[in-house]
């Protein structure tokens, strides 16, 4: 019989890349991917829900400015003790478009759901870390 520790041992080092249009309708795909990976890694139901919320907020933050064409590339990396998610948006590239209110909302919601998070407003990049 295998348990969560066996799953982590066989998946450590895996790298999954997801490229989505920078449109709100595609956020669900990112949430499903994150929750599926978290389930596979043995995260608790509460931790999976926290991660889904953090990924949703990450995608929302990277959609700005509204109507700008582009894509969001999300890299999921399974590390020895953490799931690391890095997302980069090409929507609005070359602009500083994250407004203070959106950033504050992101920081408030995400701080309680993941172990670490970063936003690089110049590179339009968000990094989330959830340890297991």
Rounded Cα–Cα distance for residues 10 and 19 (Å): 25
Among the listed residues 43, 35, 87, the one whose alpha carbon sits nearest the alpha carbon of residue 61: 87
Pairing of the two strands 82-89 and 71-79: antiparallel
What's the pTM? Answer: 0.87
3-state helix, strand and coil shares in percent for the chain, rounded to the nearest 5: 40, 25, 30
Name, in order, each residue with C-beta under 8 angstroms of 122's C-beta and a sequence gap of 6 or more: 96
The confidence score (pLDDT) of residue 8 equals 52
Does residue 33 surpass a pLDDT of 90? Answer: yes
Query: Worst-scoring range by mean pLDDT, 59-63, 87-91, 97-101?
Result: 97-101
pLDDT band at 101 (very low <50, low <70, confident <90, very high): confident
13: nearest Cα among 75, 81, 78, 69: 78
CA pair distance 10, 17, nearest whole angstrom: 18
Mind listing the domains of the chain with CATH numbers?
Answer: 4-131 (3.30.565.10)
CA distance 21 to 74: 11
Span 10-28, average pLDDT? 89
Which residue is associated with the tokens 């999300």? 74
Helix and strand numbers (H, E) in the chain are 4, 5
């Amino acid at each position: 019989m295998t348990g969560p520790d066996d799953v982590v041992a066989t998946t450590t080092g895996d790298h999954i890349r997801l490229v989505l249009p920078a449109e709100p309708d595609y956020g669900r795909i990112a949430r499903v991917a994150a929750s599926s990976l978290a389930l596979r890694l043995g995260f608790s139901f509460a931790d999976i829900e926290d991660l889904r919320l953090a990924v949703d907020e990450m995608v929302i933050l990277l959609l700005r400015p509204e109507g700008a064409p582009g894509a969001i590339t999300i890299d999921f990396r399974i590390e020895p003790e953490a799931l690391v998610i890095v997302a980069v948006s090409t929507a609005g590239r070359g602009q500083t478009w994250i407004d203070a209110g959106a950033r504050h909302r992101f920081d408030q919601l995400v701080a309680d759901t993941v172990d670490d998070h970063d936003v690089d407003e110049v590179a339009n990049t968000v990094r989330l870390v959830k340890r297991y």
